Amino acid sequence: MKKLVLLLFMALIMIYGCQNKETYTLKDTYTDKPAYGDMLIDSSIGEPAILNPVLASDSASAEINDLVFSGLVKFDKNLNLTGDLAEKWEIKDGGLIIIFYLKKNVKWHDGAPFTAKDVKFTYDIYMAPETKTAYRSLFEPVKNVIVIDDYTVKVNYKKPFAPALQYWGTGILPSHLLEGKDINTAVFNRAPVGTGPYTFKNWKTGRSVELMANKDYFDGAPYISNYLFRIIPDQSVQFMNLQAGSLDMMTLSSDLYFTKANTEDFNKKFNKYIVPAFQYTYIGYNQNNPLFAPVKIRQALSYAINTQEIIKGVSRGLARPISGPFIPGSYAYDESIKPYEYNIEKAQRLLKEEGWIKGEDGMLRKDGKLFEFTLSTNQGNKEREEIAAIAQQEFSKLGIKVNVRVLAWNIFITDFINKKKFDAVVMGWSLTRDPDCYDIWHSSKTNESEFNFVSYKNPEVDTLLEQGRTTYDTEKRKAIYRKIHRLIASDAPYTFIYSPYALPAIHKRVHGIKSEPAGIGYNFTRWYVPEELQKYKIAFEK
């Protein structure tokens, strides 16, 4: 019955998307200069889990948090660190001390002043044992945070910590609103107050999150007055909404990019971008499951996946092959390590060495037990669903029974990933610019809601991850991370599939978009709609 209701609901959405055609028309003549106003309607297949940067670990939450909150530093268009809430900083004593000089006259969205007290409060929240955060390790190397005055913070480190400065880009929390509250259950987490370019307006569960421009933003008020983040858990339905005019932008799948988004009509209305992304897609194996504990089993599964064909067929060539946990082009990526070749015979041999024998029915068994598991992924991402289906087919050639399960994003993350209640998953990582990947691979980061949810453990990798964090010399760090690359590739906790390109499509009335090494979103506050092209005529709300 529930399935029937869902199908009827999806049908209504599709009918709505087809019948409500776009009534807005781009004008041929206008004055192309920045103007305040209008609304941008974005889309996501997943609903944010929590609007608090200390607690959030999913990409949907991060998209909203990045607009509401500010950190002390941020990356500029060329991926260089620059000041955000910090005017400047000094690094002393070989990196053991960082002194941040904060910008003055910055206000929280409720009008309260931002001060050094908020920086220390945020650090204390990260380090509090009761805080359910996946990011504690980013600040564990800190010895203490000292407030020198309202606009000066001194951070003392226990030992050198190479990515230290980057991690102070995390969103800072308001002490005056959260002091004495349970950070994990605070009402704040659904109605956040930050210092960022956009202020929170409302969150309609399962439907949308709406933000409005912060007219008092310390770095200059954003031109676009309102930002609506619609939750549409299917890319095909997103695309129909885009065509019908009820969305202004979405991230295309590679299939959409080359087919429905490649018509004359679509190209008249929308700009498309191909943006190299600091991301990769993988199949991850839960090593708490005895099936995946032996390394030969994981290697066999990697040999059984034809990643080149997946790149060609699923991503239509808009992805790069990868062999390990870094992105091609990063100094940490070891080009000498090649992806696992597609080799069914080698996979079969490794499985046999681990005692798995094919029966007369063609299925693998060991000690009378069938080799069977469930491969899960999130709803709405067609490429991940296709990868899961391909893996199911390829593993069946080995005599393995695979059940594919597709789950709504929130349920997938909260009930399965965070609690490690899965066998194997098709997922992706968005990486930081620094190669530090301690939280994903260190054996200490396997608790609930932490990022090493596949429970990978290798003492040598642990040691190297610790060394990589305490080494400033780039050549030495390169050697450390490339060795990590080799070890993880050999251990095969993941089958590394590819590093995709991001494929955003954005309505042509939106101007000011520039593709740079940092992508296109780095200057979002400078995107604008010329006055004559504005569709919604929304100005600043008082």
Q: Decide: helix, strand or coil at residue 155.
A: strand
Pairing of strands 97-102, 142-149: unpaired
Mean pLDDT of 482-488: 98
Domains in the chain, please, with CATH? 35-67+196-274+503-533 (3.40.190.10), 70-178 (3.90.76.10), 279-501 (3.10.105.10)
What pLDDT shows up at residue 398?
A: 97
pLDDT tens digits, one per residue of 508-535: 999 999 999 888 999 999 999 999 999 9
**Separation between Cα atoms, residue 247 and residue 229, nearest integer Å:** 9
* H-run or E-run covering 117: helix 116-127
Mean pLDDT of 281-286: 98
Q: DSSP letters along 228-258, please?
A: EEEE-S-HHHHHHHHHHTS-SEEEPPHHHHH
Ranking 142-151, 462-471, 495-504, 514-523 by mean pLDDT, the lowest is 514-523
**Separation between Cα atoms, residue 164 and residue 123, nearest integer Å:** 13
What pLDDT shows up at residue 15?
A: 37
What pLDDT shows up at residue 6?
A: 40
pLDDT tens digits, one per residue of 429-444: 999 889 999 999 999 9
Mean pLDDT of 166-190: 97
Q: Is the CB of residue 339 less than 8 Å from the CB of residue 496?
A: yes
